[in-house]
Amino acid sequence: MEKDNEKQEIFSERVRAGKRTYFFDVKATRSNDYYLTITESKRLYKEDGFVYEKHKIFLYKEDFDKFVSALNKTVNHVKEELMPEIDFSQFERKEEHTGEKKTEKSKESIETETSGSDIDTELKWD
């Protein structure tokens, strides 16, 4: 059940990347203003089992274009200037062809497993 102070989630996209999972979530404020949260969830082993370390970024609508532009410029610089010999699409194909069985966990089950034992760092832009 959603708490009164939690923001409503509108859309969610998950990207699995080895021990990390990235969540891109669109949320709405009470006044129907929209923003994006980007969460990195990293599985770590501790003495008592696995825990998930989480880092979250809040991205507001007025910064969407600047953020996407800077991200594209940075990624393209790495691909074209620093590592032009690398075929980056091979990494996507590698995941598709591994045949590994991947267990599906929802963000909610990860958050439940980590309650009280995770590290949550929130970065906010002005």
* pLDDT tens per residue, range 17-66: 988 999 999 999 889 899 999 999 998 888 888 888 999 999 999 999 99
Residue 2 within a domain: no
How do residues 68-77 score in pLDDT, each as one tens digit?
999 999 999 9
pTM: 0.64
Helix extents (H) in the chain: 64-77, 89-97, 107-114
Residue 3 within a domain: no
Range of the domain at 27: 8-124
CATH of the domain at 101: 3.10.450.700
Confidence of residue 96 (pLDDT cuts 50, 70, 90): low
Residues 110 and 94: their CA atoms lie apart, in Å, by 25
Q: Would you state the pLDDT for residue 85?
A: 95
Q: Would you state the pLDDT for residue 110?
A: 45
Residue 120 within a domain: yes
